[in-house]
Amino acid sequence: MAIQRLGIIMHGVTGRMGMNQHLVRSILAIREQGGVTLSSGDKVMPDPILIGRNADKMKALAKAHGVERWGSDLDRALQNPDDTVFFDAGTTQMRPTLLAKAIRAGKHVYCEKPIATNLNEAVEIARLASQSGLKHGAVQDKLFLPGLRKLDMLRRSGFFGKMLSVRLEFGYWVFEGDLQPIQRPSWNYRSEDGGGMILDMMCHWRYVLDNLFGEVKAISCIGATHIPQRWDEAGKPYQATADDAAYATAELVGHNGEPVIAQMNMSWATRVRRDDLVTFHVDGTHGSAVAGLTECRAQSRVTTPRPVWNPDQKQTIDFLGQWQEVPDTQVYDNGFKIQWEHFIRHVVEDEPYRWTLPEGAKGVQLVEAALQSWKERRWVDVPPLQV
């Protein structure tokens, strides 16, 4: 068995997502397991170099996690022919520029979403990547969540019959920062810094809807800034300029060509009374299911209870108890790590890979359509994206 090295330039991994999900739980976890196994049985061992503007931060991060290579000069890192992959989890505003620089340096690129703050830049970088002949990908981690994988198994088995609708509930209360410490970065609530619920989450919902339920054809959306003032990491008050919630309805064309209606409620100003921080409730003619991050519960046509509407009597049916849990029939690894392994095999042995930058551009397309709908207070069509 041969072990092949793969040099990866990792940019922007000092943040919560980049450090925890991509560095620690993906790349370092892959190294700990002995690399990525190829179809031949050989292994690929990722060799990361951590790059960021603050040399002291990069040195401390590398030391804390046992990473030998780090630096603060991105241009110099891109000149190294032994590092062939560039990954970015930095700011969205800088992402298209950084990806373009890496592509022109001959690097395969992989990045967090959104791939840009606007559709023009998203399409431009997707086209550049597609025309370069290099490998490219965008993070679409939620497709690899255990709950959604179980939901997809039900769909592929025909459990739902004719799929009718999807109801997505997402979010939780993000502390304002005056009484309790914030648990999300303050830039998330400033539009001038790339914040906003619609920009952040519509990119996710696009690939989830397209892959699991049906291609998005139109959307109606309203956003809101429910909490107008928040406090930053230093305890200083600031004006929230970005939307912290959004409420949308989308028209989908299901995988069988039938229409599917999707409702999406997302908020950083809601208190959770549901099974998980995000739930997907799917109704079909033959059955329904509700999936969270890890669990999925289903109710078939023949086990559906018969409730009677009577507001004068206390409800006697235990509706939650009428659902059957879809069991864990396999070990579910970290979703970010799974996609990293797919991308590494795509780079090294050309394994088929569909989560590309053009797919990431579709997420930005839905963001712009949702923002346009909110601004103009109307339905907006989402045509096929030409990249």
Q: Could you tell me the pTM of the whole model?
A: 0.94
Q: How many other C-beta atoms are found inside a 10 Å radius of the C-beta of residue 229?
A: 13
Show me where the domains of the chain are located.
Answer: 3-140+335-355, 142-334+365-376
- Contact between 334 and 26 (Cβ < 8 Å): yes
- Which residue in 103, 115, 109, 88 sits closest to 17, CA to CA? 88
Please state whether the peptide bond connecting residue 259 to the residue before it is cis, i.e. omega within 30 degrees of 0: no
| Structural fold of domain 3-140+335-355 | Rossmann fold (3.40.50)
CATH architecture for segment(s) 142-334+365-376:
2-Layer Sandwich (3.30)
Cα 274 to Cα 49, 169, 249, distances in angstroms:
41, 9, 20
Q: What is the dihedral of CA 338, 343, 345, 346, to 10 degrees?
A: 140
The residues facing 371 across adjacent strands are: none
pLDDT in tens for each of the 387 residues of the chain?
799 999 999 999 998 889 999 999 999 999 999 999 999 999 999 999 999 999 999 999 999 999 999 999 999 999 999 999 999 999 899 999 999 999 999 999 999 999 999 999 999 999 999 999 999 999 999 999 999 999 999 999 999 999 999 999 999 999 999 999 999 999 999 999 989 999 999 999 999 999 999 999 999 999 999 999 999 999 999 999 999 999 999 999 998 899 999 999 999 999 999 999 999 999 999 999 999 999 999 999 999 999 989 999 999 999 999 999 999 989 999 999 999 999 999 999 999 999 999 999 999 999 999 999 999 999 999 999 988
The residues facing 246 across adjacent strands are: 223, 266
Tokens 């919902």 sit on residue: 205
What DSSP designation does 142 have?
A: G
What distance in Å separates the CA atoms of residue 266 and residue 270, rounded to the nearest whole number? 9
Cα 289 to Cα 61, 185, 215, 319, 324, distances in angstroms:
42, 33, 20, 13, 9
Task: Give 96-119 as a DSSP string.
Answer: HHHHHHHHHTT-EEEE-S-S-SSH
What distance in Å separates the CA atoms of residue 352 and residue 359, rounded to the nearest whole number? 14
Contacts of 376 (CB under 8 A, 6+ apart): none
